[in-house]
């Protein structure tokens, strides 16, 4: 079954009539959950099942469940710390590596336990105490530490059946502006971006399964934000780094995407630049209009890539998963 190139969201705890119709559109290949969609673990599992049963084609279900301030589901789920706390609290690189692996595993187990394929994680940006939107979402401000912990976190997620999405390529941590509400421009020389921020993505490229580029303009490389730039996505990410996994756009409703034009122009530009799937979040009217009227050449290769993002350990009972030996062992090692 083909997987369409558009990921949208829903408004509440269950599908409404409009959303059921929307899931009959073959262009809609993904759904992303937010806190507003969560009432309980059982409810979100039922919603995941309903989406799969209603969708006309295969569909991916995702969530931003990184830990710290970016954890959409709270009650019933393990409280995941910000990734920036792992090394600080461990105060020992080997302990931190083991904990990064365990937190990746825990997220994979619990998110898949309610029928969700993957969390958009890990954040591989550098925390240089510049970017307000990154901050402690990053593992560290040091390249080697982010590579070390990012590798273990990715392995933890992968070992427990979840594909990973590295973000925000080639690095959002060196610019203060928040691309949700602004159009960030990183004026550094190309050599500095490549040798610092992008080096994390380059070193870990063989390990993660997907990438989400930043809505940041790097004028030394291209005048378009990275997510709309075929230089960044095709020349650098695909050709230079040899990455052959999925490229997700960041949310097209963010301020940083406005430079490209309206939603149709943004979706066209992102897919043309090399994205396999585009996200439109928190704007149901615009998302609906895009899905209803967007004309794009179906890409079989993109669909095949996207199929690899399917959860390998999908379940529909968080209680059952938390009673399992795997969960109990990881929880014990994390001293929960």
Residues designated catalytic: 180, 250
Alpha-carbon span 308 to 323, nearest angstrom: 28
User: CA 17 from chain center: how many Å?
Assistant: 28
Residue 243 structure tokens? 């990455």
Residue 51 structure tokens? 């989406």
Q: What DSSP element (H or E) covers 8?
A: strand 6-9
- Which residues, listed in sequence order, are joined to residue 7 by a DSSP beta bridge? 30, 279
User: CA 163 from chain center: how many Å?
Assistant: 10
Alpha-carbon span 48 to 181, nearest angstrom: 30
CB atoms under 10 Å from CB of 208, counted, come to 25
Residue 37: helix, strand or coil by DSSP? helix
Alpha-carbon span 289 to 51, nearest angstrom: 20
- Which residues, listed in sequence order, are joined to residue 8 by a DSSP beta bridge? 31
Angle between helices 93-112 and 143-159 (to 10 degrees): 40
Residue 336: helix, strand or coil by DSSP? coil
């Amino acid at each position: 079954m083909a997987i369409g190139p558009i990921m949208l969201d829903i408004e509440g705890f269950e599908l409404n009539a409009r959303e059921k119709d929307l899931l009959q559109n073959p262009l809609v290949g993904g759904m992303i959950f937010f806190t507003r969609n969560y009432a309980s673990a059982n409810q979100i599992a039922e919603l995941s099942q309903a989406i799969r049963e209603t969708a006309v084609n295969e569909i991916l279900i995702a969530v931003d469940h990184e830990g710290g301030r970016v954890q959409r589901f709270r009650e019933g789920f393990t409280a995941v710390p910000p990734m920036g706390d792992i090394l600080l609290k461990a105060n020992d690189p080997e302990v931190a590596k083991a904990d990064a692996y365990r937190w990746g595993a825990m997220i994979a187990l619990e998110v898949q336990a309610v029928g969700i394929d993957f969390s958009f994680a890990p954040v591989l940006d550098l925390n240089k105490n510049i970017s307000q939107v990154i901050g402690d979402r990053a593992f560290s401000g040091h390249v080697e530490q982010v590579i070390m912990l990012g590798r273990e976190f990715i392995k933890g997620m992968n070992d427990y059946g979840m594909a990973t999405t590295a973000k925000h390529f080639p690095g959002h941590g060196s610019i203060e502006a928040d691309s949700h509400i602004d159009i960030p421009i990183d004026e550094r020389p190309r050599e500095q971006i490549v040798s610092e921020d992008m080096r994390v993505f380059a070193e870990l490229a063989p390990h993660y399964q997907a990438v989400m580029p930043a809505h940041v303009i790097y004028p030394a490389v291209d005048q378009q934000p990275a997510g709309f730039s075929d230089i960044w996505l095709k020349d650098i990410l695909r050709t230079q780094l040899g990455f052959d996994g999925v490229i997700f756009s960041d949310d097209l409703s963010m301020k940083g995407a406005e430079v490209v034009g309206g939603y149709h122009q943004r979706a066209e530009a992102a897919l043309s630049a090399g994205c396999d799937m585009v996200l439109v979040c928190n704007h149901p009217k615009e998302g609906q209009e895009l899905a209803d009227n967007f004309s794009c050449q179906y890409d079989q290769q993109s669909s095949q890539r996207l199929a690899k993002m399917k959860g390998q350990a999908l379940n529909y009972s968080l209680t059952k998963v938390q009673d399992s030996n795997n969960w109990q062992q990881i929880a014990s090692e994390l001293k929960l």
